[in-house]
Amino acid sequence: LSEFLQCAGTILGTEGQSEFLAHQGTDCWTYHYSEKLMNWQSARKFCQENYTDLVAIQNKREIEYLEKTVPFNRHYYWIGIRKIRNTWTWVGTNKPLAAEAENWGTGEPNNKKSREDCVEIYIKRTRDSGRWNDDACHKRKAALCYTASCQPGSCSGHGECVETINNHTCSCDAGHYGPQCQFVVQCAALETPELGSMVCTHPFGTFSFGSQCAFNCSEGTHLAGMEEAHCGPFGNWSSLEPTCHVIQCEPPTAPDLGSMDCTHPLANFSFTSTCTFSCSEGTELSGEKRTVCGSSGLWSSPPPICQQSDRSFSMIKEGDYNPLFIPVAVIVTAFSGLAFIIWLARRLRKGMVKTTTRGSILVLHSHLIQKKGSLPEPACL
Ligand SMILES: *[C@@H]1O[C@H](CO)[C@@H](O)[C@H](O)[C@H]1NC(C)=O
Q: What CATH number is associated with residue 288?
A: 2.10.70.10
Q: What value does the mean pLDDT take over residues 245-273?
A: 95
Mutate which of 228, 236, 237 for ligand 1 pocket (most atoms within 8 A of beta carbon)? 236
> Which atom in ligand 1 lies closest to the alpha carbon of residue 230?
13
Q: pLDDT tens digits for 164-210? A: 655 688 999 999 999 999 999 999 999 999 999 999 999 999 999 99
Q: What does the pLDDT read at residue 347?
A: 86
Statement to judge: residues 134 and 208 lie in one domain: no
Q: What value does the mean pLDDT take over residues 42-56?
A: 93
In this structure, of 108-122, 144-158, 259-273, 362-376, the range with the lowest mean pLDDT score is 362-376
Instruction: Decide if 189 is inside a domain.
Output: no
Q: pLDDT tens digits for 85-144? A: 999 999 988 889 988 889 999 999 988 767 899 999 999 999 999 999 999 999 999 999
Q: Could you give the CA distance from residue 19 to residue 37 in angstroms, rounded to a whole number?
A: 11
Q: Is 19 marked as binding a ligand? A: no
CATH assignment of the domain containing 106: 3.10.100.10
Q: Is 133 marked as binding a ligand? A: yes
Closest residue by CA, ligand 1 atom 14: 238
* Residue 351: band (very low, low, confident or very high) from pLDDT cuts 50, 70, 90: low
Instruction: Decide if 76 is inside a domain.
Output: yes
Global pTM value: 0.51
* Residue 7: band (very low, low, confident or very high) from pLDDT cuts 50, 70, 90: very low
Statement to judge: residues 101 and 223 lie in one domain: no
Q: What does the pLDDT read at residue 57?
A: 81
Statement to judge: residues 140 and 17 lie in one domain: yes
CB-based pocket (< 6 A), ligand 1: 230, 232, 234, 236, 238
> Which atom in ligand 1 lies closest to the alpha carbon of residue 232?
13
Instruction: Decide if 58 is inside a domain.
Output: yes
Instruction: Decide if 175 is inside a domain.
Output: no
Q: Is 50 marked as binding a ligand? A: no
Reply yes or no: is the peptide bond before residue 152 cis, omega within 30 of 0. Answer: no
Statement to judge: residues 266 and 229 lie in one domain: no
* Residue 320: band (very low, low, confident or very high) from pLDDT cuts 50, 70, 90: low
Statement to judge: residues 64 and 136 lie in one domain: yes
Q: Is 60 exceeded by the pLDDT of residue 14?
A: no
Q: What does the pLDDT read at residue 379?
A: 52
Strand partners, 63: none
Instruction: Decide if 323 is inside a domain.
Output: no
Q: pLDDT tens digits for 224-253? A: 999 999 999 999 999 999 999 999 999 999
Closest residue by CA, ligand 1 atom 12: 238
Statement to judge: residues 50 and 119 lie in one domain: yes
Q: Is 318 marked as binding a ligand? A: no
Cα 215 to averaged position of ligand 1 atoms, centre (Å) = 20
Question: Pick from 318, 335, 359: which residue ends a domain?
Answer: 318
Which has more confidence, 275 or 318? 275
Closest residue by CA, ligand 1 atom 5: 236
Residue 67 domain boundaries: 6-147
Cα 172 to averaged position of ligand 1 atoms, centre (Å) = 19
Average pLDDT, the chain: 82
Q: Is 310 marked as binding a ligand? A: no
Q: Which one-letter amino acid corresponds to residue 237?
A: W
Which has more confidence, 146 or 327? 146
Cα 234 to averaged position of ligand 1 atoms, centre (Å) = 7
In this structure, of 15-24, 209-218, 272-281, the range with the lowest mean pLDDT score is 15-24
Cα 208 to averaged position of ligand 1 atoms, centre (Å) = 14
Statement to judge: residues 279 and 227 lie in one domain: no
Statement to judge: residues 141 and 266 lie in one domain: no
* Residue 11: band (very low, low, confident or very high) from pLDDT cuts 50, 70, 90: very low
Mutate which of 185, 207, 234 for ligand 1 pocket (most atoms within 8 A of beta carbon)? 234
* Residue 326: band (very low, low, confident or very high) from pLDDT cuts 50, 70, 90: confident
Q: What does the pLDDT read at residue 65?
A: 86
Q: What does the pLDDT read at residue 8?
A: 32
Q: What is the 3-state secondary structure (H, E, C) of the chain?
A: CHHHHHHHHCCCCECCCCCEEEECCCCCCEEEEECCCECHHHHHHHHHHHCCEECCCCCHHHHHHHHHHCCCCCCCEEEEEEEECCEEEECCCCEECCHHHCCECCCCCCCCCCCCCEEEECCCCCCCCCCEEEECCCCCEEEEEEECCCCCCHHHHCEEEEEECCEEEEEECCCEECCCCCEECECCCCCCCCCEEEEEECCCCCCECCCEEEEEECCCEEEECCCEEEECCCCCECCCCCEEEECECCCCCCCCCEEEEEECCCCCCECCCEEEEEECCCEEEECCCEEEECCCCCECCCCCEEEECCHHHHHHHCCCCCCCHHHHHHHHHHHHHHHHHHHHHHHHHHHHHHHHHHHHHHHHHHHHHHHHCCCCCCCCC
Total domains, the chain: 3
Instruction: Decide if 366 is inside a domain.
Output: no
Cα 201 to averaged position of ligand 1 atoms, centre (Å) = 19
Instruction: Decide if 375 is inside a domain.
Output: no
Identity of the highest mean pLDDT range in 3-7, 110-114, 285-289: 285-289
Cα 359 to averaged position of ligand 1 atoms, centre (Å) = 123
Cα 291 to averaged position of ligand 1 atoms, centre (Å) = 47
Greatest alpha-carbon span in the chain: 198
Closest residue by CA, ligand 1 atom 1: 236
Q: Could you give the CA distance from residue 298 to residue 250 in angstroms, rounded to a whole number?
A: 8
> Which atom in ligand 1 lies closest to the alpha carbon of residue 238?
14
Statement to judge: residues 11 and 140 lie in one domain: yes
Instruction: Decide if 121 is inside a domain.
Output: yes
Q: What does the pLDDT read at residue 60?
A: 82
Statement to judge: residues 31 and 133 lie in one domain: yes
Cα 231 to averaged position of ligand 1 atoms, centre (Å) = 9
Q: pLDDT tens digits for 15-38? A: 333 223 333 333 457 789 999 999
> Which atom in ligand 1 lies closest to the alpha carbon of residue 236?
1
Question: Pick from 226, 246, 266: which residue ends a domain?
Answer: 246
Of 215, 211, 232, 236, nearest to 224 (Cα)?
A: 215
Statement to judge: residues 279 and 233 lie in one domain: no
Statement to judge: residues 210 and 289 lie in one domain: no
Cα 195 to averaged position of ligand 1 atoms, centre (Å) = 28
Q: Apex CA 110: angle with CA 105 and CA 115, to 5°?
A: 125
Strand partners, 283: 308
Contact 66, 144 (CB under 8 A): yes
Closest residue by CA, ligand 1 atom 2: 236
On the CB side of 211, CA atoms within 13 Å amount to 24
